[in-house]
């Protein structure tokens, strides 16, 4: 069975940076999409960014475009989320999502697999 394991969360001051990693095991996701979502207390889980596994096409939420960067290492079956210029409103549990629908990359329900989530805390 496919497993997604996240790492890299932690505490950072406003304006700082973190890099999250998501390692996939069990199978590859060629011709599909890997994504990152986040969920703050009292909020719905929201789309952050996604990348096509083979083609490298990326999509970003307006709230993070220009500050966050998604990338992947196909040989390692790993997806990364580089987060720069973090803001307090960026504090949330961040989730890695796998095997998403290619044409519905911003929709939570289109992803088949999910990581356990990693906490990102941003202090003012």
Q: DSSP assignment of 90-104, as one string?
A: G-EEEEEEEEE-TT-
CA dist., res. 80 & res. 1, Å (int): 21
Rounded mean pLDDT, 48-65: 95
Q: What order do you get walking across the sheet with 78-83 strand by strand?
A: 3-7, 18-25, 78-83, 68-73
Q: Does 51 or 29 have the greater pLDDT score?
A: 51
SS3 4: strand
pLDDT at residue 72, rounded to an integer = 94
pLDDT at residue 29, rounded to an integer = 62
Q: Does 93 or 25 have the greater pLDDT score?
A: 93
Q: CB under 8 Å to 94, separation ≥6 — which residues?
A: 6, 9, 20, 36, 37, 38, 48, 81, 117, 118, 119, 120
Given a cut of 70, is residue 76 above it in pLDDT?
Answer: yes
Rounded mean pLDDT, 51-74: 95
Reduce the secondary structure of 58-90 to three states and give it as a string. Answer: EEECCCCECCEEEEEEHHHCEEEEEECCCCHHH
pLDDT at residue 55, rounded to an integer = 87
Give the model's confidence band at 53: pLDDT under 50 very low, under 70 low, under 90 confident, else very high: confident
């Amino acid at each position: 069975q496919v497993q997604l394991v996240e790492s890299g969360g932690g505490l950072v001051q406003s304006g700082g940076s973190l890099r999250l990693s998501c390692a996939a095991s069990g199978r590859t996701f060629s011709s599909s999409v890997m994504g990152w979502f986040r969920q703050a207390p009292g909020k719905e889980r929201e789309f952050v960014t996604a990348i096509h596994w083979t083609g490298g096409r990326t999509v970003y939420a307006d709230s993070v475009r220009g500050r966050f960067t998604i990338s992947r290492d196909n040989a390692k079956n790993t997806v990364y989320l580089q987060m720069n210029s973090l803001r307090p409103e960026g504090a949330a549990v961040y989730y890695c999502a796998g095997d998403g629908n290619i044409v519905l990359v911003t929709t939570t329900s289109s992803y088949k697999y999910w990581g356990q989530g990693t906490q990102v805390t941003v202090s003012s």
